[in-house]
Structure 1
Amino acid sequence: MSGGFEIRVRQQLGAFTLDVGLQGTQSGVTALFGPSGSGKTSLVNAVAGLGRPDYAFIRIGDRVLSDTDMGVFVPPHQRRVGYVFQDARLFPHMSVAQNLDYGRPKMVSLPTSLPLLAETLGIGHLMERSPKDLSGGEAQRVAIGRALMSNPAILLMDEPLASLDQARRDEILPYLDQLTQMTDTQIFYVSHSMAEVARLADTLVLLKEGKVIRQGPAADILSDPAAVPDIGVREAGAVLTVHVKSQDAGDGLSELATSAGRLLLPKFNAPDGTQLRVRILASDIILSRDKPDGLSALNILPAVVAEIIEGAGPGVAVALKSGEDRLLARITRRSARALKLAQGIKCYAVIKTVSVAPGNIGQHKG
């Protein structure tokens, strides 16, 4: 299927107005991020055909699913849309294997085999179990597998980890990493967790009060200081592309190579040479004009100030170029003035080794 996607939706819901326009490439993960009530679920429901907006033009590849002007509305069961909800919604009277098989269209040859899908999602050993015997994370992985077994043209994932505790989220995220690497299916991922978005998304769409306020490559938006108010000051942070230089660098650490230098993080399982993306929160970066000495922090990366944006409060967002990567730091206005920071100024980004949580490390997209 060619041609990517184009989605234009307008809908009046009481005092709330949803008015969005999106377009993108054929495959990859498009994350819809925004606060509750921003229109994320209403939008994906329109794509799925579960809602009929006042106006809709929805094209996935070369198929037009909705066109209000032309009177086109393809019924939900004919749209080839996979949908994963917050709760797994598995059939309780069926085994895992039967739930997966239920999603498979009869007499259709699937591009992804069940054994490969089961291996990717880590559910091969669960086939004979009943849904009631699954953990929350296991049930969601089965639900994702069932949706993919339907051979969808687009996969909608509406807050798929929201009902799980942090331990179960950390358990399932590596499987989602692998899933997004193995499938060419366009994925819409709805979330209010920036950690999930930064780890999984190729494209980021920020929604607020029913409107698209930003859309584009996730790495570009996450490193843009002007986007900090829309993302949230506590969630703001850029993503670095790195590769594993040494999985075991001693002292319980792993050594990563960035385009500007070494990055040491708590040890994790990834073979040497693996490309990863690492999210570093803006609030976890300290800036210094001179290369610091005698610090407990082990990560000191050279950088150049690319842009400074002052917020309404005491904070300043500083965009940095570090080698080929971009970083984002959030410091006080007083500190920025004391350091005499300005565009083009050379400095050093200091990052505590233990500040990067395991959930902020994922597979590189590419």
Structure 2
Amino acid sequence: MMHMKKSTKRICSLVLIALAVVLLFILDGHKNEQGMLISILQKSAILAIVAVAMNLLNGFTGLFSLGQAGFMSIGAYVTAILMIPVASLDGVYYMNGVAPGIRSMKEAMEAGPAWLQAAYPFLALIAGGLIAAAFAALIGIPVLRLKSDYLAIATLGFSEIIRAVFSSPQMDTITNGSYGLNKVPTFPKLFGLPVLFTPFIIAAVCIALMVLLINSTYGRAFKAIREDEIAAEAMGVNLFKHKQLSFVISSFFTAISGGLLAMFMRSIEAKTFSITLTYDILLIVVIGGIGSVTGSVLSAFLVTASKEWWLRFFDQPLIIGGWEISLFRTGFRMVVFSVLLMVVVLFYRRGLMGDKEFSWDGLVRLLKKPFARRVPAGVKGGAGHE
């Protein structure tokens, strides 16, 4: 079996990255014409972060958690509150005003040095991640002693509690209650590149950090827990410590994606982070392959593009030869999308990637497969071998 040289793989990877960068520059030059495509790609990158974070917990550690929407809401609200300019506070909190402490803190931050103001959006994202991680560490103490469906129900309950708290009237001066938050600034510039690049760079960094964790000794401990907790404990793995670590880190990156979503949408409200969002993320993970980072990233782009772009024409009336096909109407694209999901699950029962990752060798084998000559039964090695 032939394998590509490491230098060749490195060159192929650099070429692929260069092509992606060129594509983004082209899209940035045609923002008005390609607004839909840019939005789909940016949202896909944001969802790729939370999908990989969920896979870290579900696929690599074996913990079935459904609290992703709750942690995303924490990241989104913290980021939005910290990023809304002081001049816009009265227009956002028009009912009961903003908490004095929030106004004072934001005034102090805006009066800070230029370097602090430039780093402020990224500090807001990290703050949202750290607060979500703190909540995860706190609820993880009782919740992570549960297993399977019980853990899923407990984390789902936490997510719904967070959503209810954020929309409650008692939180009006902080989260603006059921009115939500608007006038959230969009993505900041990073490394002097166009704003369009920011979510992709942050997504790449977050996913790379999670991949490094998965491939570390901690990642091997996570996989040991997933395979057999009793055997892992016998090998000296501290079950609770590593479960807690996986839960906290997953929640941190999930909150980062929530903060990016707030910048992407420019306005947020509690109902955005309902149970439906968690199911959408779980769908991305399952379609991509539980235990595959590549699958989660690929699936995030495919699922988002299918739901919000490629299948849109099914919502429009179809007229052929003067006859209107009544089947094509608003909402029909979701029926088609559901059928496609069933087909994928039937033919790819472990997802598109299973538990495998992308490799250049695998891609070459896949491309050669249709052209490979069949070897007759009983003949070893095929033609050309003695």
Which interval holds the TM-score relative to the shorter structure? under 0.3
TM-score w.r.t. the length of structure 1 is 0.18
Hey, which of these two has a bigger chunk of strand by percent?
Answer: 1
Larger RCO: 1 or 2 (CA < 8 Å, sep 6+):
2
TM-score w.r.t. the length of structure 2 is 0.17
